[in-house]
């Protein structure tokens, strides 16, 4: 599909934004062996402060598994966009539902301030 795939976590160094996803264990039947264990997954690929360079932004759609794919120090850091991302996700969902249930898009008098919404 034209993208490069790597299992080397050090390669995140060149990213502007590190986008983290959780392991969807509910879709992995026991014995499928995608990874040997969550412990090893966390050791090899967990996003820790040591693996980030200063100023590198981190996103995650939630829910996050602290200590598995993301270290709490990263999730709660100023570089983390996670809360803004989740709040934006809420607003977008609200807007889509509103449009689907009413006549369609309405024009807004002014841009929405995310901090007023949630």
Partner 1 sequence: MSLHSRSAAPGTFVIRGARVLDPVEGIDSNLDVIVEKGVIAELAQPGGKAGGKPVAAEGLVLAPAFVDPHVHLRAPGREDEETIASGSAAAAAGGYCAILAMPNTDPVVDCAAVLGALVEQAQEDALIPTGFMAAISRGLAGEELTDMGELAAAGAAAFTDDGKPIRSAALMRRALQYAGSTGRRLALHCEESTLSHHGQMHEGIVSAELGLGGYPSVAESVAVARDLALAAYEQQPIHLMHLSTRESVELLRRALADGVQASAEATPHHLCLTDEAVRSLDANLKMNPPLRPEEDRSALIEALKDGAISCIATDHAPHARQEKDVPFEAAPFGVTGLETAFAALHTNLVEPGLVSLETLLERMSAGPARAFDLPVPRIVVGEPANLVLLDLESSWTVKEERFRSLSVNSWLLGQTLKGEVVLTVAGGRVAFGSERIGA
> How far separated are the first and last CA of the chain, in Å rounded?
37
Work out the angle at residue 43's Cα, subtended by the Cα atoms of residues 37 and 45, and round it to the nearest 5 degrees.
95
Query: In the range 55-114, which residues lie near partner 1 by CB under 8 A?
Result: none
Confirm or reject binding of residue 115 to partner 1 (CB under 8 A): no
- Binding segment for partner 1 among 11-19, 32-40, 70-78, 87-95 (CB under 8 A)? 32-40
Q: Tell me the window of 10-18, 35-43, 60-68, 103-111 that interacts with partner 1 (CB under 8 A).
A: 35-43
Q: To the nearest whole angstrom, how small is the minimum distance from the Cβ of residue 70 to partner 1? A: 18
Site string for partner 1, 1-30 (x = CB under 8 A): ------xx----------------------
β-bridge pairing 17-19 and 57-59: parallel
Output the CA–CA distances (angstroms, integers) from residue 112 to 40, 63, 87, 103, in the order listed. 43, 25, 12, 20
What contacts 24+ positions apart, CB below 8 Å, involve 107-111?
Answer: none
Q: How far is the CB of 40 from partner 1 (least distance, A)?
A: 4
Question: Which residues contact partner 1 (rule: CB under 8 A)?
Answer: 7-8, 31-37, 39-40, 43-44
């Amino acid at each position: 599909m034209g993208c490069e795939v790597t299992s080397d976590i050090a390669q995140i160094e060149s990213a502007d934004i590190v986008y983290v996803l959780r392991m969807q264990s509910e879709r992995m039947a026991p014995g499928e062996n995608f990874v040997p264990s969550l412990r090893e997954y966390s050791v090899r690929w967990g996003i820790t402060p040591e693996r980030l360079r200063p100023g590198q932004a981190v996103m995650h759609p939630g829910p996050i598994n602290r200590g598995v794919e993301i270290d709490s120090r990263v999730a709660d850091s100023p570089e983390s966009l996670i809360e803004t991302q989740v709040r934006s996700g809420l607003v977008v969902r609200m807007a889509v539902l509103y449009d689907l249930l009413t006549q369609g898009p309405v024009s807004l008098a002014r841009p929405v301030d995310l901090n007023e919404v949630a």
